[in-house]
Amino acid sequence: MQASGRNAGLGLALVSAFAFGGSGVAAKPLIEAGLDPLHVVWLRVAGAALVLSPLAWRHRDLLRRRPALLAGFGLVAVAGVQAFYFASLSRIPVGVALLLEYLGPALLLGWIRFVQRKPVTRAAATGAAVAVVGLACVVEIWAGLSLDLVGVLLGLAAACCQACYFVFADQGSDGDDVPDPLGVIAYGMLIGALVMTVIARPWGMDWQVLGASAALGDAMVPAALLLGWVVLIATVFAYLTGVVSVRRLSPQVAGVVACLEAVIATVLAWVLLGEHLSTWQIAGGALVLGGAFIAQSSRAAASASAAPDPLPTVAPADAADAADPGRLDRETTKA
């Protein structure tokens, strides 16, 4: 059962990484068609909040039981990651900003080890380090070595918010009062949408873009269809599978597996948008895959070491004694 739950968690983490990784491929044509990047983010979060609003009503008891968790998830894990990432993009190259954001798993290991004072396996730390090196190759960080200090700090803030996403996703995974992930995500999107409304100011958006078509590579695709993918798959489905995977694995393992999002985004951009992949990017993708494999193997080893010893076999004579405690005394008397 432990192995089955772990494998299911790993599968969900991979599915979540694929869903998150596909957001950029669908969002880029909308941006090139005339939408502001912040407006795309607002449409993403607000659309997800609208889809999940019935679930928010169904789990309204969470407002009383876990108000801090809901506020933290919405402000940090939803709005914080998006706002800081796009703010860093305005000052530093895209690849560097992406690499800084995905330092989140490494920061998460530091949080677990030094703040929560829990042990961090060597395999998880090694996997995170290998994944970060691979990400540096995927985004070709050397192409933007002239960095802006404020942009770097904003990227690191996005990384901190991403690390908090895994911490919040793991809250309440043990114990009797376990919050339903559907309710947490629904209220997180609602709170995130309110925050992003103030930041993005969508009343100035060009709504006509959504009624036209956008170029996805060589094909023209309805902008509404691309927005539907961003909202339903890259947000609702991605957050749901991501939160569940954290609870089945662990924050440190799921965080390293999440680094695959950047690799998946790069590969999808190559296939669907015709963007070129260099040798360094291919090698970096292999390193990220290796880092994710190393990290998840630590969970397997921990589960195996924690498995209980098999129950001792009861010999027939011992079983008879247990069933009839007086049998031995009677046999002694006969002798």
Cβ atoms within 10 A of the Cβ of 37, count?
17
Give the least confident one: 45-54, 124-133, 254-263: 254-263
User: pLDDT above 70 covers what percent of the chain?
Assistant: 81
For the stretch 87-121, pLDDT in tens is 887 777 666 777 778 788 778 878 887 787 887 77
CA 335 to CA 89: how far, in whole Å?
Answer: 91
Sequential DSSP letters for 197-240:
HHHH-GGGS-GGGGGSEEEETTEEEEHHHHHHIIIIIIIIIHHH
- Start-to-end C-alpha separation, the chain: 50
Does 29 have pLDDT greater than 60? yes
Provide the token pair at 173: 């995974």
pLDDT at 277: 74
Binned at pLDDT 50, 70 and 90, residue 165 comes out as: confident
Q: Which residue has the tokens 């494999």?
A: 293
For the stretch 212-250, pLDDT in tens is 999 988 889 999 999 999 999 999 999 999 888 888 877
Give the sign of the dihedral formed by CA 226, CA 48, CA 58, CA 172: positive
In this structure, what DSSP letter does residue 324 have? -
Name the pTM for this structure. 0.75
* Annotated domain spans of the chain: 2-334
pLDDT at 189: 95
Q: Which of 260, 270, 223 is closest to 27 using CA atoms? A: 223
Are 333 and 156 contacting, i.e. CB atoms less than 8 angstroms apart?
A: no
| Mean pLDDT of the chain, nearest integer | 79
